[in-house]
């Protein structure tokens, strides 16, 4: 199983931001910048290890981490960003990490999409970095034009195969310093992928950036919860699809698509939270193009609809009601597949099973039912 680690670089002071304390501890919307970044990172991805690199004798970090519901390790940084990151990478040496994500503590708007894109890129490359195109015209100080089509703005987190980036840092002279970590990967000859950045993933650098971040955090939102329910009859066949997982059980579910009741109920729950009708409105069984279709695409359509509304999926819960097949042997695979489709960390996906004590059509083994709930955060309209 692939293990992922996050290194948060928080050892600097951030003098350009002003203030009497380091910028990562200055408040935004009622809590420190660093705590915002930690919370959004944990919500965005299910990291196996989190290491926060701080200054020696940092007087704030222990109080900040004291009551967190998740574990954060502390590592002492150095005089430069490069030294701090090097220390963080060494700190992970006993954690058996496969992929490491190095992120600025001053970027509090990390999203699941940013992390998932990087994780996907690391399947084919040794390093990956989110980037944005340069929109404004570029000139040198003497007025010469610069070709902006060959330029990109780099963001963090920057992601790497752990052993590859550790080896790259190990070869650096002790006093060598780089602007970012992808430059070290480039020097070491690692293969690099450029993923799509996010304009909102900006780095808080100057005093007015705190005002901008405050407005984003204080934007009025509301929480919407939707529910879904689906029933399918058993039929002759070899493979039954449930929550995105094929189960070889000697029978199947009867339906126009692949009849995945778990994903159908979850898709309807999302449509319900969006007040966007139901699955039959968007994928009518009377339409031949959906005959035998994978229910994955129904759920992905609903997930994309959340994004189109500038919303965020927070949590999903699926309950399967059946006498057969046995769900427990497949539950973790179901959770993992739903997490992948919903672009959620595994900790925000629940799959449960129950029976009806031999009562009703499920109790008689004629079919199964599924119910689901989905919780979304949506902007107030």
Residue with tokens 């420190």: 32
Residue 229 backbone phi and psi in degrees, to 5: -145, 140
Q: How far apart are CA 171 and CA 183, in angstroms?
A: 14
DSSP string spanning 155-205? -S-EEEEHHHHHHHHHTS-TT---SSHHHHHHHTT--EEEEE--TT-PPP-
- Say whether both 57 and 204 belong to one domain: yes
Domain boundary (184, 218, 252) is at: 218
Question: Do 95 and 129 have their domain in common?
Answer: yes
Q: What is the pLDDT of residue 126?
A: 98
321 and 227 in a single domain? The answer is: yes
One domain for residues 229 and 347:
yes
Domain that holds residue 111: 4-218
Q: What CATH number should be reported for the domain holding residue 314?
A: 3.30.1330.50
Are residues 197 and 74 part of one domain?
Answer: yes
Residue 24 exposure: Cα atoms within 13 Å on the Cβ side: 24
pLDDT of residue 69: 78
Q: What's the rounded Cα separation, in Å, for the pair 81 and 371?
A: 49
Between the CA of residue 156 and those of 89, 134, 293, 374, what are the distances in Å?
16, 16, 38, 30
The span from the CA of 40 to the CA of 42, in Å, is 5
Judge if 173 and 270 occupy the same domain: no
What pTM does this model have?
Answer: 0.63
Q: Output the tens digit of pLDDT for each of the chain's 381 residues.
A: 899 999 999 998 777 877 788 899 999 877 899 999 998 898 889 999 999 999 999 999 999 988 787 899 999 999 999 999 999 999 998 889 999 999 999 999 999 999 999 999 999 999 999 999 998 898 989 988 988 888 999 999 999 999 999 999 999 988 888 989 999 999 999 999 999 999 999 999 999 999 998 888 777 678 899 999 999 999 999 999 999 999 999 999 998 889 999 999 999 999 999 999 999 999 988 888 888 899 999 999 999 898 877 788 999 999 999 999 999 999 999 999 999 999 888 989 999 999 999 999 999 999 999 999 999 988 765
Residues 173, 233, single domain; the answer is no
Domain C-terminal end among 159, 190, 218: 218
Does residue 207 share a domain with residue 149? yes
Which pLDDT belongs to residue 220? 63
Judgement on whether residues 187 and 279 belong to the same structural domain of the protein: no
**Residue entry with tokens 């339409």:** 287
CATH code assigned at 54:
3.90.550.10
| pLDDT score at 222 | 82
pLDDT of residue 312: 83
How many domains, the chain? 2
CB atoms within 10 A of CB 347: 14
Q: Domain check: are 52 and 128 in the same one?
A: yes
Residue ranges of E strands in 55-164: 73-76, 99-104, 127-133, 138-139, 145-146, 152-154, 158-161
Regarding whether 196 and 62 lie in a shared domain, the answer is: yes
Determine the pLDDT at residue 319.
Answer: 97
Omega before residue 325 within 30° of 0, cis? yes
| 294 and 360 co-located in one domain | yes
Look at residue 381 in the predicted model and tell me its pLDDT.
Answer: 56
Which of these three, 218, 245, 275, is where a domain ends? 218
């Amino acid at each position: 199983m692939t293990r992922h680690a996050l290194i948060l670089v928080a050892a600097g002071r951030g003098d350009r931001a002003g203030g009497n304390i380091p910028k990562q501890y200055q408040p935004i919307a009622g809590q420190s910048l660093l705590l915002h970044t930690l919370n959004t990172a944990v919500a965005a991805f299910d990291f196996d290890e989190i290491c926060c690199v701080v200054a020696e004798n940092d007087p704030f970090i222990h109080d900040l981490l004291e009551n967190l519901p998740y574990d954060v390790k502390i590592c002492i940084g150095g005089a430069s960003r490069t030294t701090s990151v090097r220390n963080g990478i060494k700190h992970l040496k006993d954690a058996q990490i496969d992929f490491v994500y190095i992120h600025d503590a001053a970027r509090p708007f990390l999203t699941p999409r940013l992390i998932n894109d990087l994780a996907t890129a690391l399947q084919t490359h040794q390093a990956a970095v989110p980037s944005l195109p340069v929109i404004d015209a570029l000139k040198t100080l003497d007025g010469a034009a610069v070709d902006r089509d060959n330029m990109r703005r780099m963001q963090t987190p920057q992601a790497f195969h752990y052993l590859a980036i550790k080896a790259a840092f190990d070869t650096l002279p002790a006093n060598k310093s780089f602007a970012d970590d992808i430059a070290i990967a480039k020097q070491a000859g690692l293969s690099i992928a450029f993923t799509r950045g996010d304009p909102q993933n900006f780095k808080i650098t100057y005093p007015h950036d705190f005002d901008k971040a405050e407005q984003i955090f204080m934007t009025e939102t509301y929480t919407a919860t939707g529910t879904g329910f689906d029933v399918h009859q058993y039929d002759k066949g070899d493979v039954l699809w449930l929550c995105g997982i094929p189960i070889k059980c000697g029978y199947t579910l009867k339906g126009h698509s692949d009849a995945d009741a778990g994903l159908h109920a979850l898709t309807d729950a999302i449509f319900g939270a969006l007040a966007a009708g139901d699955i039959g409105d968007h994928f009518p069984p009377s339409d031949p193009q959906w005959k035998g279709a994978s229910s994955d695409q129904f759920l992905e359509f609903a997930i994309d609809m959340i994004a189109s509304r500038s919303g965020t999926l927070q949590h999903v819960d699926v309950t399967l009601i059946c006498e057969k097949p046995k769900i427990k042997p497949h539950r973790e695979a179901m959770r993992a597949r739903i997490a992948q489709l919903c672009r959620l960390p595994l900790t925000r996906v629940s799959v449960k099973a129950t029976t009806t004590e031999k009562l009703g059509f499920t109790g008689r083994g004629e079919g199964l039912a599924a119910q689901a709930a989905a919780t979304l955060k949506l902007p107030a309209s």
